[in-house]
Amino acid sequence: MIEGVSAPQAGDVLSRGLSVRALHNAHAGPFAFDVPAGACLVITGVSGAGKSVLLRMMADLDPHQGDVALDGRFCSGMPAHRWRRQVVYLPAESGWWSDSVLDHMPDDALTRELMAKAGLRAGVLNDPVHRLSTGERQRLALVRGLRQAPRALLMDEPCSALDGGTTLMVEAMMREAMAGGTAIVLVSHDAAQATRMADLRRELAQGHFVGADS
Amino acid sequence: MTPILLDTGDMILAGGLIVGCVALSLVLSLGIHRTLIVAAIRMAVQLVLTGSVLLFVFGRSSVWLTLLVLAFMFSAATFEVGSRQVTRLTRAWHFGIGGFSTATGTVIVVLVGLLTALQPHPWYQARTAIPMTGLLLGNVMNATSLSMNTLLSMVARERAAIEARLILGATRAEAMNSLIRQSIRTALIPTLNQMAAAGVITLPGIMTGQILAGMNPLDASKYQIVLMSLIVSGNMIGATMSAVLTSARLSDARGRLRLDHLAR
């Protein structure tokens, strides 16, 4: 565990990292928790517990009450697109706005480097999106997100379609991002992955965290 | 040169053609026979009524009567523009955006037409203003409705793609612009086809009408050119407005995609 992860006081937020305050909508929350820069919060819970809802609210993709701060600056205090550029949500099913991978990311050194780390063959850049496997799309979406050098990553089952070895490669990428100060919120069904990655853990059930400290 | 008038026999022939289409629909299981019958009866009743009303209105030359007829036409267009769409906004917004876009596009080009090219005296003369408005209104309504329909169904289908852009920090305009453009293009394709085919493949309606009514074909073609230009301009305005307004309604100030604003 990392310092500064005790139950947050209302009003004060982390100067480095994510601070969620009274975040809720009609179905889930309120949530209040901190994820310091460089730490990983793993959220577990059965399907329909509200994990994706929580991540979507944190990315300001769904209407909600309450607020989230990144490095002491609140989401509501900046244009939404600037917030999302720094707090990148990776949904379980990645979306693609054209059938060409190169419309989503340029073929440059950074892309190549991230692809190599994710165990992707260079050829996928020139393949049509619909021909890629689910696992390839999943990792390309991660590459696409990491290219932005986000300050926070909200990941919904990022390794659900990956084999054990590739999962470890993706986790290494996540650790590298954390070493650079990125805060990660990871939704995972994989208990072993949760154990490997978690600095903090929470369990969600019926729209609320289970346990005393939330 | 007097126009050739149609008699009862001609009307029965027209009815027979519709019956033939209904039979075809049944034989081929197209499932459009009911719609077709309703549409045919509506068309006949509406046109006969319109003919009678116009006969009456032209005889009066009252501004208020003309405005009343126009108001009725715009209300009907507002209703029609929002019908027949599978994916819809909630009721008030659906008809509001459709009607507002159609009316704006139409009014602008009708005024341009009446105040510059046609210049009837007075400029609101019913004999010119009402048919002009009717012609343009119908066209703008089609374009607006196509544009809205295309955008609504694309946004509903492409949710993941739009959100993929938003997630990476696109503004709502950046995320939806390509869909807006595609909707406007789709809405204008019929008009563009009509313009390209005009005179070569088809004789456009106004020109045909004018020639049948005895006008010199060259004069009729000039008439058609001006009206076609007004039509394409009105369509462009209507289609653009409805696409932009619809996309605005399907997103919010925080740049979120708001599919909850669709009617369910």
pLDDT at B120 over 90: no
A65 interaction partners in chain B (CB closer than 8 Å): none
Supply the mean pLDDT for chain A: 90
Report residue A8's pLDDT band, with 50, 70 and 90 as the boundaries: very low
**How near does any CA of chain B get to the CA of A53, in Å?**
14
Task: Sort out which chain B residues have CB atoms less than 8 A from A82's CB and list them.
Answer: 169
Residues B182 and B230 in one domain: yes
Query: What fold, for A17-97+153-210?
Result: Rossmann fold (3.40.50)
Structural domains in chain B (count):
2
Q: Point out the domain boundary residue: B41, B60, B79.
A: B60
Residue A200, classed as helix, strand or coil, is strand
Question: How confident is residue A11, by pLDDT bands cut at 50, 70 and 90?
Answer: low
Residues B24 and B98 placed together within one structural domain of the fold: no
B100 and B182 in one domain? yes
The alpha carbon of residue B99 is apart from the nearest alpha carbon of chain A, in Å, by 28
Question: In angstroms, rounded to a whole number, what is the distance separating the alpha carbons of residues A68 and A35?
Answer: 11
Average pLDDT, chain B: 90
Is B52 in the same domain as B97?
A: no
> Can you give the pLDDT at residue B2?
65
Exposure of B108 by Cβ count < 10 A (0-12 exposed, 13-18 middle, 19+ buried)? Answer: middle
Domain of B21, in residue numbers: 1-60
Which residues from chain A sit within 8 angstroms of residue B251, using beta carbons? none
Radius of gyration, alpha carbons of chain A: 17
My answer on whether B161 and B52 are in the same domain is no
| pLDDT for residue A4 | 40
Q: Do B154 and B242 fall into the same domain?
A: yes
- Chain B closest-CA separation from residue A113 CA (Å): 20
Nearest to B256 among A62, A91, A141 (CB): A62
Query: B62: pLDDT confidence band, cut at 50, 70 and 90?
Result: confident
pLDDT digits (tens, 9 = 90+) for B42-61: 999 999 998 998 899 888 87
pLDDT at A213 over 70: no
B94 and B207 co-located in one domain? yes
Would the CB atoms of B163 and A62 count as touching at under 8 Å?
Answer: no
pLDDT tens across A78-119, in order?
A: 999 999 999 999 999 999 999 999 999 999 999 999 999 999
Instruction: Return the higher-pLDDT residue of B37 and B85.
Output: B37
Q: Is the pLDDT of residue A5 over 50?
A: no
The reply to whether B90 and B11 lie within a common domain is no
Q: Per CB distance under 8 Å, which residues of B are interface residues toward A?
A: 158-171, 174, 178, 252, 254-258
Alpha carbons within 13 angstroms on the beta-carbon side of residue A140 total 30
ipTM for the complex shown: 0.88
Cross-chain Cβ contact B169/A81 below 8 Å: yes
Task: Note the pLDDT tens digit of each residue in A165-211.
Answer: 999 999 999 999 999 999 999 999 899 999 999 999 999 988 888 87
Q: What is the mean pLDDT of residues B207-229?
A: 89
Token reading at B43: 């068309």
Contact call for A89 and B158, based on CB within 8 A: no
Domain boundary residue, one of B60, B90, B109: B60
Contacts with B186 (C-beta within 8 Å, 6 or more apart), sequence order = B146, B147, B150
Model confidence at B99: pLDDT above 90: yes
Pairing label, strands A65-70, A17-24:
antiparallel
Q: Are residues B132 and B248 in the same domain?
A: yes
Q: Between chains, do A97 and B165 touch, taking CB under 8 Å as contact? A: yes
For chain A, domain boundaries: 17-97+153-210
Tell me the chain B residues in contact with residue A89 when contact means C-beta distances shorter than 8 Å.
167
Query: Are B87 and B13 within one domain?
Result: no
Q: Check whether A38 has a pLDDT greater than 70.
A: yes
Q: How many CB pairs under 8 A join A and B?
A: 66
